[in-house]
Amino acid sequence: MTLRCSVFIATSLDGFIARKNGAIDWLTRPEDAIPGEDYGYQVFFDSIDTLVVGRNTYELALTFDAWPYAGKRVVVLSIGSPKILPSLAGQMEIMSGAPAEIVQRLAETGAQHVYVDGGNTIQRFLRAGLVQELTITRIPILLGDGIPLFGALGRDIKLQHVETKVYPNSFVQSRYRINDAG
């Protein structure tokens, strides 16, 4: 089986994944919550065996009440040495290098489905042609500024629409296959 890389992320309607300072408070507003709804996240999470995240995403996850990636191998992309909590020893590792090198190392160690997360990490993997699927949930809020999901790519990337769901709170989730990945 070939290694697959997928993105599952939320953006503001104007395409930002976080505020300039990295805050994601707008994602968890109580008035937007639908009790018991996870927008397909658990089904997606159950399908992956490895997460590749940037250092900023990893450090943000460390601030959550519970470690959100429990039971999964987590690879943090960093040229430095981010803090590894003792409770995460054996579940996470640090790698650096080009996305193609990372994917090759993951494939050699048995990874089959990788969840790519974090703005810069997603952009680097897209530019390298390594992402096969994007699931983007658009939150009905305009931030006006922040950290964009997409950046300069150097080429067009053709997408094939797979499905779109509209939720009662006006969240709109679309899933796309990337036709020219790899």
- Note the residue count of the chain: 182
Residue 129 CB contacts under 8 Å (≥ 6 apart), including other chains: 180, 181, 182
Residue 57 parent element (H or E):
helix 55-61
Q: For position 80, what pLDDT does the model report?
A: 75
| Residue keyed to tokens 């089904």 | 43
pLDDT of residue 10: 97
Strand partners, 148: 16
* Six token digits for residue 83: 């803090």
> Over the range 88-126, which residues count as b (16 or more CB within 10 Å of their CB) and which as e?
beeebebeeeebeebbeebeeeebebbbbbbbebbbbbb
pLDDT at 76: 93
Please list, in sequence order, all residues whose beta carbon lies within 8 angstroms of the beta carbon of residue 106, skipping any fewer than 6 positions away: 3, 50, 52, 75, 114
pTM: 0.92
Q: What confidence score (pLDDT) does residue 31 get? A: 87
Alpha-carbon gap, residue 52 to 103, rounded angstroms = 9
Which secondary-structure segment (H or E) carries 165?
strand 159-166
174 and 163 Cβ atoms separated by less than 8 Å:
yes
Angle, CA 116 vertex, CA 97 and CA 133 arms, to 5°: 125
Q: What's the pLDDT at 1?
A: 54
pLDDT of residue 168: 95
d(CA 51, CA 111): 10
pLDDT tens track of the chain, all 182 residues? 589 999 999 999 999 999 999 999 999 888 888 999 999 999 999 999 999 999 889 888 888 888 889 889 999 998 877 777 777 777 888 899 999 999 999 999 999 999 999 999 999 999 999 999 999 999 999 999 999 999 888 889 999 999 999 999 999 999 999 986 44
Which domains does the chain show, CATH number per domain? Answer: 4-178 (3.40.430.10)
Place of tokens 């709170």: 169
